[in-house]
Amino acid sequence: MRTQVVIVGAGPAGLLLGALLAREGVDNVILEQRSAEYVLGRIRAGVLEQGAVAKLDQAGVGARLHREGLVHHGIEISHRGTRHRIDFQSLVGGSVVVYGQTEVTRDLMDARAKSGATTVYEAEDVSLHGFDGERPAVRYRHGGVAHEIACDFIAGCDGYHGVSRQSVPRAALTVHERVDPFGWLGVLVDRPPLSPELVYVSHERGFALCSMRSLTRSRYYIQCPADERVEDWSDERFWTELRRRLDEPANAALSTGPSIEKSIAPLRSFVAEPLRFGRLFLAGDAAHIVPPTGAKGLNLAASDVHYLAGALVDWYRRRDDDGLDDYSRRCLRRIWLAERFSWWMTSLLHRFPDTDSFGARMQEADLELLYSSRASQQSLAENYVGLPY
């Protein structure tokens, strides 16, 4: 079998890349290790920057997002029992859209199925070959049968644990990583959100976040030690701890109920450099991980795909190598800015076990500056709604 581009991974990054390429007449095949049901079952955040929304519109899958997504013009930050609103609209004239990553994936999957483009789910033993030359190929097994796809390029969109980055010789790759000593314990519940916008909480007991998936489904998080077990957290224990961290009006508005999903997500910062290895390109979580505090994970994947799709289309139309040659640099510039913002938000709002009194007072001063300085608020708003591509 032959195609122009093999995309490894059918998460949002791989599916979005496949959609954008197909609309420009670039043939592609997507390989996914898991089943379609498993991919859709992954619970992820869904705060979309304006740039990500534009990419989904360009891919032809934005209709339901615009019908059902919740447009937010700001966030609230709670500290010492008082909430302070960061008004994106007045500060930078921007907004974000709350629309679950699961729904983004569903829209992209449905559109791909209707288009007739090839996606192979439950592709086993995927291996990448020849990407350091001009004749790359991808081999895999499906249903017990061995297959090989010859191609021009390979896009590694298969996440942090995927085969794409692991196929790169170690000497060719520089890895930057930081693992935080805590995680986020998250609960999904079919109850209305306590506030029309996301509420970020800085509290002496630890960070909390009041988020949402829709007007009737809420997502709540609390900071917990990295070695906590989700089995040790009953719903009652979770709600009790969350209430301890909320201000009085938030507690009055909080509607609790039985959780429909509960999990602990570790917080990690990770960047691989470079992102191009001959005819193999890394994108999305295969290339970088950010703490969820800044809501940048899915949005960085969308910007990677923006650069990669444009570069590949230019190559097929005009045999123009400039976009491919510059792909890594352009992506990494935006990646490191997002890493910085996510690190800053995490440092601002969380309690670190090794923080001394000086560090605690610096955190207080940083929050005070944010509340009192329009310039500081403007910087947060500019980064949160998304820096330009």
- Give me the active site residues, please: 72, 200, 292, 296, 384
Distance separating alpha carbons of residues 238 and 236, to the nearest angstrom: 5
DSSP secondary structure letter of residue 350: S
Distance separating alpha carbons of residues 41 and 102, to the nearest angstrom: 7
CA-nearest of 137, 121, 105 to 5 is 137
The encoded tokens of residue 107 equal: 């829209």
φ and ψ at residue 330, rounded to 5 degrees: -65, -45
Q: What is the DSSP string of 184-222?
A: EEEEEESS--SSSS-EEEE-TT--EEEEESSSS-EEEEE
Find out whether 223 and 100 touch, Cβ atoms under 8 Å: no
DSSP secondary structure letter of residue 292: G
φ and ψ at residue 284, rounded to 5 degrees: 70, -145
Could you tell me which residues come within 8 angstroms of residue 81 by beta carbon, excluding any fewer than 6 positions away? 247, 248
DSSP secondary structure letter of residue 273: E
DSSP secondary structure letter of residue 76: E
Distance separating alpha carbons of residues 74 and 84, to the nearest angstrom: 10
Distance separating alpha carbons of residues 334 and 341, to the nearest angstrom: 11
User: How many residues belong to the chain?
Assistant: 389
φ and ψ at residue 126, rounded to 5 degrees: -65, 135
Find out whether 126 and 133 touch, Cβ atoms under 8 Å: no
Written as one letter, the residue type at 190 is D
CA-nearest of 115, 160, 172, 118 to 140 is 118
SS3 category, 4:
coil
Inter-residue long-range contacts of 140-148, CB under 8 Å, 24+ positions, other chains counted = 140/31, 147/1, 148/1
